[in-house]
Chain A
Amino acid sequence: MTSRTTRSAACRRSSRALAGLLLLTLLVAMPSAAEQEVPTYPGTIHTRIGSDLVIGGEYYRLAYFTTDDPMKKVAAYFAQKWRDEGYPTVVEGDLKEEAVVSALFTREGLQRGVVLRIHQGKTVGFTALRDLWTRPPKSAPKGLVKLEGTVYTQDLATRDDPGGSQNRTSLVSGDLSDVQQRVSAELARQGFEPVRHTATKLGGTTQVTMEHARKGEQVMTTLSAVDEGMTAVVQTWVGSDRLDAVPNDEAVRKSREEWEREKKGKGEGKGR
């Protein structure tokens, strides 16, 4: 009995010690894991745009807010706050139609900024947090095509959305039908099959939307003529096997595993 009591007391002591150690570990780990927040304007609701975005090969966090306050007041708030805190801050724009306020946080390798615009009489602010030091691994976006004659292209990817998504916006030299054919041919070469295809009139111009799918993956392509001989191509790749293209990480993971197994099985069969 005594030994049992002693053991349980020892157990309690060791549990407490373990809990203390765990708490200490958590406390130590917390500052390093602390989330770096996007800037905020007081008294407004901020809506995050995606989670962690990769834009032009750099990590970003974005949010937006709207306010009745005039643009000058909003810009002055951010500029004053960052300058008072001791961060090098720059204000650009006419402060009537547009303004950009940004500050460098060089010890953390971050840039915080706000882009302001007027929309329907309100001031709309896009707040951004940009990582200056960490770069995402260079991986070619899956299912997104880069055509010959591309004069501009911009990639955007989400880092931790379920299933993940990648976007590419391009300006391609060529007529709408020509670019459409080239996109379809390239996707077919990558193993994507056409699912559906719609053409709509929008503001006097034709907009073509194509959907392609490959095992557990979907690519939505929207094409529209910008000028004569110039077409805008917006592509979104989603890891999804759902009809509504909503990312379904678990379904996609299983589907991919199954596909990999099938592929492996076929390979082994051929080997024999």
Chain B
Amino acid sequence: MRPWGLVLVGALLLTASPARAQENGSTRSVLTHFSKGVRSARNGDWVTYRFDGGGMRVYYWRMAVVGEEKDKQGRDAVWVEMEAGTHPAMKSPLMQIRMLVAREGDQIRYDAISRLYVGGPFDRPQEFSDEALEHVLKQMNQEALDDAKENAAEAAKAPPLPAGMKPVVRSGKETRLMTLAGTVTAVQVELVVKRTVIKRMWLSREIPLLQMAKVEIPGIAHSMEVAEYGIDAKPRMLMPAPNAPKVRLEYADRVFPDLPIGEPAEESEAPEKQP
């Protein structure tokens, strides 16, 4: 499996602008840590993170692999459940997602979703129809492409940074880190501009799925920390009946066949007459 930690370090470097970041051996220490035995994502793996957005904005996010089967295209796939709520026990999650995602070897391909169930705070979980799922995925891919294009264009236009303002990624040695889920072995990676730590994170091969133990953004007092993890996840979403209605796309021209489509009438934009 491609260690998620490396992917995250890669993402961090990208965030810091690849042309400007100095890679000073950080990848090497992370690689050394993961080379001692990183756990591939398996059925039953789960992890819960505590997000602290400052003040009272605390919530929990859980991810779990709860089943395996072939998808419609005959690929190996796993059922992944995600939940977000105000308590780590997730007795009452405010958001639930269950999706069948393809896997290639040990790697879960989160971009290859073939089935999707979504439940909100007030609604019973519902499956997306093929058409609705295709629409959502297409929209997500398009947004990702647009963002990448925009970032590349901005990076090309941006003036060179003043001396000493180059972001630097640096890493520490393998250490023991105390977390809400207990003490784990981790490697600290930091993104620094001059003397300011922009982002600090601890990667750990012991944490299932994301291999992420903790992330801090000290400047705005935001953090993400592993709260619980394990290897005994069971499906928790209350599945809708097979014949339950699915989430479908609704076409405006079918719902309102007589709806006039065209330029807005001029008078609608005219200012209101004053008495």
Contacts and interface: CB of A to CB of B under 8 A. Distances in A.
B122 A85 contact: no
Interface string A82-126: 010111100000000000000111110100000000000000000
Contacts of A85: 91
Which A-B residue pairs are the 10 nearest by beta carbons?
A86-B87, A86-B91, A86-B89, A87-B92, A88-B86, A106-B92, A133-B124, A132-B122, A106-B121, A105-B92
Interface string B116-157: 000101111000000000000000000000000000000000
Interface in A253-270: none
Interface of A: 83, 85-88, 103-107, 109, 132-133
Contacts of A86: 85-92
Contacts, number: 43
Contacts of B119: 106
B85, B86, B91, B92 interface centre (most CB from chain A within 10 Å): B92
20 contacts: A83-B87, A86-B87, A86-B89, A86-B91, A86-B92, A87-B87, A87-B92, A88-B86, A88-B92, A88-B121, A104-B94, A104-B121, A104-B122, A105-B91, A106-B121, A107-B92, A107-B236, A107-B238, A109-B124, A132-B122
A107 B123 CA distance: 10
Interface residues of B, number: 18
A104 B92 CA distance: 7
Contacts of B238: 107
B141 to A, nearest CB: 30
A139 to B, nearest CB: 21
A133 B126 CA distance: 12
A88 B123 CA distance: 15
A88 B94 contact: yes
Nearest to A84: B87
B93 interface: yes
A85 B86 CA distance: 11
Interface in B71-91: 85-91
Contacts of A132: 122-123
Contacts of B236: 107
A86, A88, A104, A106 interface centre (most CB from chain B within 10 Å): A106
Interface string B9-22: 00000000000000
Contacts of A107: 91-93, 236, 238
